[in-house]
Structure formats: C-alpha cells, structure tokens
Amino acid sequence: MPEERVARSICSSSRNRFVIRLIGLSAVVLASVAIGPPDVWARAGGGGGFGGGGGGGGGGGGGGGSGGGEIIVFFWWLCTRHPLIGIPATIAFVAFLFYGGRSAREGHVTRTIRRGQALQKRTAKEAAIAAVRTRDPAFNPHEFLGRVRTAFVKIQHAWSEQNLSTVRPFISDGILERFSLQVGMQKAEGYRNLMQDVTIHSADVAAAYTDESFDTFHVRIRASAVDTNVDLKSGRRLSGSRRAEEFVEIWSFHRRPGAQTLSKPGAIEGNCPRCAAPLDIVDVAKCGSCGAQVNSGEFDWVLAEITQEMEWHVPATDVLVPGLADLRARDPHFSIQHIEDRVSVMFWRMRAAEFYRSLDRVRPVLSDEYAKTISAELKQMEARGEFWKDPAVGKVEIIDVQPGSPGEQDRVRVKVRWSGTYSEGDPTGRSRALRRKAIYTHVFVLARDHDAKSVENGAFHSAGCPSCGAPIDVNKDGACSFCGATITDGRWDWVLADVQPFTPDLAFRAASTPAPAPVHREHVDPFERDGDAELSLAILAKVMFADGEMSPQERDALVRLGSHRSLTEGQVQLVIDSAQTTQAVVPTPKNPRQAVQHLEQLVHAVLADGQISRRERKLLSRYAEKVDLSVADVKMAISKERRSAYARARRQIKAGRSSQTTLG
C-alpha cells in the first residue's frame, strides 16, 4: 500500500538520520581518541605516545590516526549492514570511550595530586635539612634520629618511674607541666602507669622547617608497649593491656638556628650542652656549673610537643596567622612556640586547680580579672564535688593576634583541643563519671601589654617568672614570691584573660581562601591549610544526629573519612560520642554561607589522598540535605577542590623539575 510504503520510507529515513548522527558522534569521539590531548592520554596510559610519536602508539608516527579511521569505517559498515547489532555496539563503544576517558582523566588527576603532595613534603624536609646543614655542617639526620630514640626511651622510663628529673633538661615547661600533673594525679589515686617492653619500630622525620626563630623537626615515632596500671604499693596489676599494643605519635623538637651539633653528650644524654657538666636539675632547667638555661633551644634540641598522629597535621606557615606580622615588627623575639607552650602550661594548671581544688595552682598565669571568674567556678565545682578525670590535650594551635593600641593590651587567641571525663566524688579516692569521655574545643584568650617584649631565649621557659626566672609562684597580689615583680597584669608575659567556646565564625573558614605568599618557610605544605579534620568529622556527626540517630552506613562512612587522617575506628567513635554529648559544644552551621564553607572543609579533608569514594559522596550529600544544600553544591565543592589541588600539584611538580634542571 502507498501509505505503508510512505511510512516505511519515513521510518527508514529517520533511522538513517539517527544512524548518521550516531556515527558522526562516534567519529568525533574516535577522532578525539586518535589526536586527543597528549598530557592526558599519554600519562593515563603510563607515559606512552598513544597518538604515535617516537614509535610509541601503533607503529610509527601515523599509527594512531590510521587505527582511528579504520574503526570509524568498521562501525559505519556495521550500523548500515547490520543495524540491530551495529547500533547497540556503537552506543556501547561510545559510552565506554566517554566514561573510560573520564575515569582515566580522574585517575590522572588523583595520581598527580598524590605525586605533588609527596613531592611537596619531601621538598620541605630536604630544604629544611639543607638549611640546617648550611649553618651547621656537622648535623646528621640519622644521628639526630638516634638521639630522638634515646629521648623516647628515657621518657617512657621516667614516666613509669614517676620521676621526671632525668628528662627535665630537654623538655619544655609545657611538657613538664603535663607530665607533672598526670603523675601527681596517679600518685593521688594510688597507682602508676607502667610502660613495659617498649619497642621503637620506626622513627622518621615527618616534616621539618626552619625560620628566624627555630629549626623544627617533627618526628613520627611508631612504637609498641605493654601499657598497664599497677598499684603504687603492692605492684598488683589494676588494668591495662596484657600484650604489646602499637601506637604512633609525633614528637616535635626545636633548636635555635645558631645552635651547633654537639661533639659531646648533650641535654638528652644528661649533660649540659654548653659546658658538658653532668646535670642535676630539680625545678628550673639550669646548669649548676655554668648557669645555662639548657632547655632554651639555644644549645641543644628541646622536646616541646607530643601529638597523637590523629591530631597532627603539617603546620601552616606563620604568615597565615592574622596580626602576627604586626606583633613581630614590634617584638622581634616573639615566637609561636612560646605561645603554644605557655598555653599548655595554662591548661594543665587549670586542671590541677580543679583536681587539687586550689586557685594557687593556676593563679600565676591568670589575669587579675579572670582569676575572680575562675575562683568562683572552682568553688562551685568543689561544692558539687566535681572535677575532670584523665584530661588529655590533643592540639594547641594559634588562631590569630589582635593588636591593641598603645597603652592597651594585645591579645592572642589559641585553639585547644582536649578530652576528659567529667566526674563526681573525691579526686584522690572513689568517684563516678557524670558524663562519658568526650572531646572539647576551646579558645584560650591571652593578653599582654602592647609595649611588652618577649625574652630572647625564654620560649620554653613558660612556667617561670619572666622577671627573675624562678618557678612561678605568686602572693595574693599577683607578685612573684622571689623577686616581688607583679606578673599577673600582662606587664611581663602573656596571661590568660578568658576561655571561650570555639564558635562557628572560627570553625567555618573556607578551605579554598587564597593564602598570602609565604615570606619564610616557602616550602610549607599548602595542602594541609585549615586541616582540622577531626572537628570537621565532629560537626558532620552532629548534623547526622539532627534527627536523633545515625545509620550504620553513615557511621561506616565516617570511619572511612577518619581513616584519611590516621584516625582509628575507636578514635572516630569518640568523635561520634562527643558529637552526641550535649555538653560538648560542637559548632554547627548557622546560615547557608557557613554550611558551604564547612562543606568545602569536609571535601578538603576527604580529598587528603586525592580521591573520594561513592560512599563518602553519599555521606556528603546527606550532610548537604540536612543543611539545605543540594547535591549540585556537593559536586561543585568536590570539583573546585580537585581543580585547586591538581593545580597546586602541577605547580609543585613543575617547580621540582625546574629545581632538578638548575642543579643539573
């Protein structure tokens, strides 16, 4: 029939047009394969010249193009002669090329990011070591790590024996305060923590930096030990592990740039690094023979920080700290190391005041006004019989400097991450937990007179009188018991003026904010900027609990997220528990802008290894849904971070090649 012939003709014509379009699309895709971008396809294939060139692709310079043309002809023939087979095969082949190409591209980006990160960190260490060797030709990293191993074993022994005198010469005041309070708490409760069968499996430099204030080496120590609590009198085992358990910590050592490698035993070995006399120190880390402050960093390495691997990240460059440049212009000897060590002293003295129920423990580091507040709080805690049990510090990190006007005071804000169990009862006897152990983040606000100056070699002498150097102890008027100088008004050194919650305006700082060009430590790793992964996880967990529960799938995804930053499943569970505890204030987004900034921080943390899994994408989408964002926002944040990380990595790789060419 004429109508049927017309219909068949129309269908045939439509089919032919479809086939022609499909083959045309295939031709475009296949042609792009044949002559596609060499920097994508060649690298994705492991460095070969896919489109020819140098004999790499299908036999000589024109091999790739010839192969692409033959494929197009073949699919044209298949679609026109056998459409039922050819059309589906062509569609499948085009889809394979499209998604395979995208997968190859993503794989290339991921590998480039990882390569750039590894190169950046290696370059940072090599640059710092080279700078140290320029000033100190005798410096040997292997010998330095050998001394670190010695320090590690000595500290484990001193801790177990509850006698810190042998390690006092090479630890900062902040470390001393931490150990002293913890040992004092153990003694008060009638036990000691015994570390047996201590084995160091590895010790390597995780990061190294040098600037005008200090040479800094962060050493990653992987060790194992049998960790038990035993009765102080009988030695009977009370609790703990029965077999060795592995742990990883970052030990941070500092030394003044002018210091030289010792040809004789130093502070770590128990000798004065200045005159070599044996050291016998009780309180102040001074040599009895020559009077040198042996833990100043002026003569030898000083241990100033011990950080759990889960909390540690490569520190950002100092120039990223707002207000710091202005303060250093007025106070050349100011150092972040002193601020962070001083805050450690303040934190542990606060916990000591609560444990021993005595303001005297913390009064020397409090401003006169804040001392009144703390005194009232201590009385309330004592009346209720409450205290913090087993406190531990995870992170002490400067946030910013707020310069005051002449005649006023400068202020510094410092983030403190810590954990503890709020308990009720007798601190030295029977007690019970009022809340389960949780993680807290607070801001310590320090104040000091605008025209005050830092002591040149007093960075780690944070628990001594800034006037006479004696151990800090003050009378009711805030005056040093030894020299009479008033040290609680900010005239001499930084005092604690307030402790505040970590608010959303501090928590949600866009990870993608451009950083100013570094002035010093130009090798600082930019990939780790704003890298507070643990807080990001806590906020994410808090949002997941918004409807009262968290699914097993969401928890598993959080565990995987935590693994990107070396958090164990148990540590992630503590983060989750903290987010669920109402008393542990976890800042959550208050508006769409903060929600987007937190999303960017999450993506920044997740992409630490250059890739993101489907389950992690789903978790981020779940977060977006709960804070009124869309899946498109998640995709945009991931794409933005990958582009940024890829660009940084490319620049780093290019810089590395240029450096090698110059050296060559």
pLDDT higher for 148 or 291?
Answer: 148
Q: Would you mind telling me the total number of residues written for the chain in this entry?
A: 664
Instruction: For residue 547, give the DSSP letter.
Output: G
Same domain, 419 and 567: no
Cα 422 from Cα 432, distance rounded (Å): 9
Q: What is the mean pLDDT of the segment spanning 106-128?
A: 68
The string of DSSP letters for 79-145 reads: HHH-HHHHHHHHHHHHHHHHHHHHHHHHHHHHHHHHHHHHHHHHHHHHHHHHHHHHH-TT--HHHHH
Same domain, 639 and 653: yes
Cα 602 from Cα 42, distance rounded (Å): 32
Q: Please report how many Cα atoms fall inside a 13 Å half-sphere around the Cα of residue 315, on the Cβ side.
A: 25
Q: What is the mean pLDDT of the segment spanning 540-555?
A: 75
pLDDT higher for 382 or 395?
Answer: 382
Instruction: Establish if 53 belongs to a structural domain.
Output: no
Q: Find the helix packing angle between 83-135 and 63-81, rounded to 10°.
A: 150
Sequence letter at residue 653: I
Quick one: pLDDT at residue 608? Answer: 65
Q: pLDDT of 334-361, one tens digit each? A: 989 899 999 999 999 999 999 999 999 8
Quick one: pLDDT at residue 107? Answer: 61
Give the H or E element holding residue 243. Answer: none
Quick one: pLDDT at residue 409? Answer: 94
Instruction: Establish if 512 belongs to a structural domain.
Output: no
Quick one: pLDDT at residue 520? Answer: 39
Cα 485 from Cα 467, distance rounded (Å): 7
In the predicted structure, residue 22 carries a pLDDT above the cut 60: no
Quick one: pLDDT at residue 122? Answer: 73
Contact 215, 257 (CB under 8 A): yes
Contact 323, 411 (CB under 8 A): no
Split at pLDDT 50, 70, 90, the class of 314 is low
Quick one: pLDDT at residue 145? Answer: 96
Q: pLDDT of 642-655, one tens digit each? A: 787 777 777 777 76
Least confident stretch, 226-240, 399-413, 449-463, 482-496: 449-463
Q: If you compute the radius of gyration of the chain from its CA atoms, what whole number of angstroms results? A: 31
Number of domains the chain is built from: 4
Quick one: pLDDT at residue 317? Answer: 60
The pair of structure tokens assigned to 531 is 């890298």
Angle, alpha carbons 182-392-305 (nearest 5°): 90
Least confident stretch, 157-171, 240-254, 402-416, 583-597: 583-597
Same domain, 411 and 483: yes
The pair of structure tokens assigned to 278 is 């044996």
Instruction: Establish if 582 belongs to a structural domain.
Output: yes
- Considering 122, 148, 174, which residue would you say is the last residue of a domain? 122
Quick one: pLDDT at residue 346? Answer: 94
Q: What is the mean pLDDT of the segment spanning 22-51?
A: 38
- Other beta carbons within 10 Å of 193: 17
Instruction: Establish if 619 belongs to a structural domain.
Output: yes
Same domain, 547 and 636: yes
Instruction: Establish if 568 belongs to a structural domain.
Output: yes
Contact 585, 502 (CB under 8 A): yes
Q: pLDDT of 608-633, one tens digit each? A: 666 677 777 888 888 888 888 888 88
DSSP bridge pairs for 207:
218
Contact 299, 259 (CB under 8 A): yes
Instruction: Establish if 214 belongs to a structural domain.
Output: yes
95-98: which pairs have CB atoms within 8 A and are 24 or more residues apart?
A: 97/29, 97/30, 97/33, 98/29
Least confident stretch, 157-161, 208-212, 402-406: 208-212
Cα 50 from Cα 65, distance rounded (Å): 10
Rounded to the nearest integer, the mean pLDDT of the chain is 77
Q: What is the mean pLDDT of the segment spanning 79-97?
A: 71
In the predicted structure, residue 514 carries a pLDDT above the cut 50: no
Q: What is the pTM of this model?
A: 0.74
- Considering 315, 339, 369, which residue would you say is the last residue of a domain? 315
Contact 283, 471 (CB under 8 A): yes
pLDDT higher for 274 or 127?
Answer: 274
In the predicted structure, residue 484 carries a pLDDT above the cut 90: no
Same domain, 478 and 535: no
State the CATH number of the domain containing residue 462: 3.10.450
Instruction: For residue 607, give the DSSP letter.
Output: G
Q: Domain span at residue 190?
A: 136-315
Same domain, 202 and 323: no
pLDDT higher for 493 or 469?
Answer: 493
The pair of structure tokens assigned to 642 is 């990958």
In the predicted structure, residue 576 carries a pLDDT above the cut 90: no
Three-class HEC string of 559-599:
HHHHHCCCCCHHHHHHHHHHHHCCCCCCCCCCCHHHHHHHH
Name the H helices within 36-82: 38-44, 63-81
Contact 343, 414 (CB under 8 A): yes
In the predicted structure, residue 558 carries a pLDDT above the cut 70: yes
- Considering 315, 345, 368, which residue would you say is the last residue of a domain? 315
DSSP bridge pairs for 657:
none
Quick one: pLDDT at residue 347? Answer: 95
Same domain, 172 and 311: yes
| Residue owning tokens 């930053």 | 565
Split at pLDDT 50, 70, 90, the class of 411 is very high
Instruction: For residue 317, give the DSSP letter.
Output: P
The string of DSSP letters for 140-177 reads: -HHHHHHHHHHHHHHHHHHHHHT--TTTGGGB-HHHHH
